Amino acid sequence: MTAHNVRISILLEPVGSPDVVVSCDQQLRELIINEPTCVDFVYSQEQGPSKLTVQHRNRQDNTTAIIVKSVKLNGIEHIQNTYQGIYYPIGLELRRDTYIAWEGSWILEFTVPVYTWLHKTQGLGWIYD
């Protein structure tokens, strides 16, 4: 199998100073963010599933949240990249949302090669797999 290069860039905007864990392909970034922050991942992966996770944790009061502003996959930014993610708030119903107010995880599942996944999710027509 061929390994494909993957570049992920996610822009997060804080409300307050949330405690955030961002992970992708076994790479992990633990942050407390106070201003818009871009988190980048670069890795190689064989064809198959992958996921990008943003976790809001250690929420002490109602004054923190995380807003997923944008997601770039291999340098391509498209609004659908962001809205393909699903927010799984602890104890609440899952939803397609980019505003992470409760503790829980926002997860974007995609496949590698990324260009094929982008083509399919954006409805760009027929593609040979």
What secondary structure does DSSP assign to 46-70, as a single string? ESEEEEEEEEEE---STT-EEEEEE
Q: If DSSP codes are grouped into helix, strand and coil, which group holds residue 120?
A: helix
| Dihedral of alpha carbons 55, 86, 45, 115, sign | negative
- How many whole angstroms separate alpha carbon 4 and alpha carbon 45? 5
More confident residue, 78 or 102: 102
Would strands 99-100 and 65-73 be described as parallel, antiparallel, or unpaired? Answer: antiparallel
Residue 8's domain comprises 3-121
Residue 99: give its domain's CATH number: 2.60.60.40
**Number of structural domains found in the chain:** 1
The pTM of this model reads 0.90
pLDDT digits (tens, 9 = 90+) for 7-30: 999 999 999 999 999 999 889 999
